[in-house]
Amino acid sequence: MQVDLHDILKIDGKKMQVNAELEMDQFHGTFGDYPIVRKSPVSLEIVNKGDRNLQIKGSSEVVLAIPCDRCLEEVDTRIPLDFEKEVDMKLDEEERVQALDEQYFIEGYNLDVDKLVCSEMLVSWPSKVLCKENCKGLCNTCGTNLNLKTCDCEPTDLDPRMAQIQEIFNKFKEV
């Protein structure tokens, strides 16, 4: 959803509150697309701090289907969103991108809530996603999901993460 910032920029001290619906149904991540399982509107508070500075606060929660780090089964993962940003509208778009050091979410006078939320999701991204604490992962040799069945491969010392890196690598080769 786009929020028009024309009105709020006219009056210093003005405050606006918006419940912004997210349009996206999936999140485009570095290693692929993650379906959004649940989303709720982003409650945004935008304040004109004067001198064309805007303070943008927002909170929401998105649930994404993210593959388990070990077995790659999709796990419904809560991504809490709670952010506060200052945007200097005196800067042009290029300067703003550099100042914020992230994907820009304001184009002209439009705040693109989806883009803003995407960059915040990266910030809140979980360091670890497991389907369960004791997930057995995939066999390094044959790729069997060891939570579901066993295989006859000899155990190896290969780091289980190597198998996933290999898989990601293979995905890239297919493209």
Q: Can you give the binding site for Zn ion, defined by CB under 5 A? A: 68, 70-71, 131, 135, 139, 141-142, 144, 151, 153
CB of 132 to Zn ion, least distance (A): 6
* 3-class secondary structure, 47: strand
Q: Could you please report the per-residue DSSP string of 49-112?
A: EETTEEEEEEEEEEEEEEE-TTT--EEEEEEEEEEEEEEETTS-HHHHHHHHTS---EETTEEE
Who contacts 27 (Cβ-Cβ below 8 Å, separation ≥6)? 33, 34, 36, 62, 64, 118, 121
Angle (nearest 5°) at CA 102 between 79 and 47: 75
Residue 140 token pair: 């390094």
- Look at residues 56, 53, 51, 50 and name the one whose alpha carbon lies nearest to residue 18: 56
Rounded to whole angstroms, the Cα distance separating 106 from 54 reads 11
Closer CB to Zn ion, residue 32 or residue 41?
32
Closer CB to Zn ion, residue 20 or residue 139?
139
Place of tokens 């304040």: 47
CB of 143 to Zn ion, least distance (A): 7
CB of 148 to Zn ion, least distance (A): 10
Closer CB to Zn ion, residue 5 or residue 131?
131
Closer CB to Zn ion, residue 142 or residue 175?
142
CB of 167 to Zn ion, least distance (A): 14
Closer CB to Zn ion, residue 116 or residue 135?
135
CB of 70 to Zn ion, least distance (A): 5
